[in-house]
A and B are shown apart, each in its own frame.
Chain A
Amino acid sequence: MQASDRFNINSQLEHLQAKYVGTGHADLNRFEWAVNIQRDSYASYIGHYPLLAYFGIAENESIGRERYSFMQKMLLPCGLPPEREED
């Protein structure tokens, strides 16, 4: 950790990660980042009602169903994590 980080939120990366799940770090891989992106996206769709309505019309589904399916997709948005190559 740099001396400069003492004063800001990055001073406690662990704490930061615990508080804001979506924040990243230098060792984040492509998959983990993508999962965060996907979940943020779904959360955002669900949070904005007009977007939800838009998707509902586009997919010809009820808004409630859309919301439900988005929430389900947040579980494993990108499928199973890839095998970690040992290094």
Chain B
Amino acid sequence: MILLWGSNAREAHPIFFHHVLKGIDNGARMYCVDPRYTSSAQFSDVWVGIDVGTDIALANGIGREIIHAGLANLDFIAHSTQGFEAYAASVEPFTPEAVAAICGIPAEVVVEMAHAYATADTAQILWTLGITEHHNAVDNVLSLCNLALLTGHVGRWGSGLVPLRGQNNVQGGGDMGAIPNKFPGFASVDDPDDRARFEAAYGRELNPVPGWHLTLMFEAMERGDLRALYVIGENPADSEADVLHARAQMESLDILVVQDILMTRTAEMADVVLPASVAWAESDGTVTSSERRVQRVRPAVSPPGHARHDIDILCDMAEAMGDELGPRDPKAAWDELRSLSAMHGGMAWERLEAAGGLQWPCPDEDHPGSTFLHGWLWADDLEGREPAPFSVLEHEGPTEELSEEFPLRLTTGRALDSYNTGVQSGQYDSPLRFAGLDLNSQDAAGLGIADGDRVRVCSPRGSVEMNARVVSSLPRGLAFTTLHHPELIDVNVLTNPDWDPKSGTAEFKAAAVRVELVDAPETAGAPVG
């Protein structure tokens, strides 16, 4: 049984979706929870078209039904979890009827999903940004974790919780310590023992204060506490929610340095641009995929002009500041990582070459790598760990309520042929390319908008013009656009910057907007040609 929740993997993770399709071909039932009837939903047995931001209500309702139907895995709950009673009490108000009213779906669907999930031999919950691009992202994730803890669909082959990562090395970046409060291998900056280990290896004292994540950095810019920014391979001048505000903060910096492979909007704002080689096609190293698989990238072509490898630029920067970062050799850097991060310890460079990638944790050179995590939940002694906690979660809904002034819900997402702000994917001739606003046909008719019309979309933060596409499968009251074409549609002018204090992610998925027809330009009498 496959529960695809807040993910249009058919377009955003197409080759992963091939594996989902194999499961469906082999008889797995798929439920697709998504406000839009996506191309992924078209492959599902049941499309569960909830209203944007009502995920916790649905998850709590499924949890309640599993408990009431006697389908909870009580042995697993007793042995491997804690906090069940409080959780069970917290979901009690979420009857199928109550959930139906909140989410805008039939009550029977809640019951059916609960039974299908709880009684399946193996079941996976797969999610992406439909869960995490909300002001309560972490709570959304925890609401899904609750379901796995309730049924024991976690920590064993074929059953689990699968967040699909959006970038080819976002997992690896975190693993390597590119997180404000972590060292490589998820050691904690503010843990004296962890820090001592890294201080010994690096031969210097390390700052014990966790840094800022991106959202906190923008707040620090606003306060004037952050005056210099060095951006590597990120395009916040297009990708931040409420982007006009973000650009203003970046304009106010004393110095902005951007290291990138292409001239992004962020690079155009920079005082200094450091041209970098293309990591995946021009340089040596590793990336770590969504399934924790560390794989080698290799240079196929030489970098153009003055573009240099990231490792050389960074080492030069350190040298200019009077320091040494170590050898400029990807393999040597990898071996240093292996000596400091236990979960990578067994991943010798040669093994990565031979095996076509290994999945962490892989603590020693005889270890085959790990295809799934959390197997300890099934160990008699839980391998000495604390039982996994249930979470008590409130349904809140989007922070920006619909109003007479802004009556439509705008949600943003991805399309098959494009990627994030389009820096790379905008460069090839995709026959599928579309930049515009998807509108429900009845909403469009009510607004006097026809397919292809130019419309103005207004949110409390600004307005953007784009072309409308009338889509009959989109639910009433919902509008959709992608973030892929900021040069044509500056969509993040509209998006809601309210962010999750636990994750730092903004509510890209839920803004309140108004859509108006832009009057056709006066053409009568205009000279032709």
Co-assembled chains A and B: no
Chain B positions within 8 Å of A, measured between CB atoms, are none
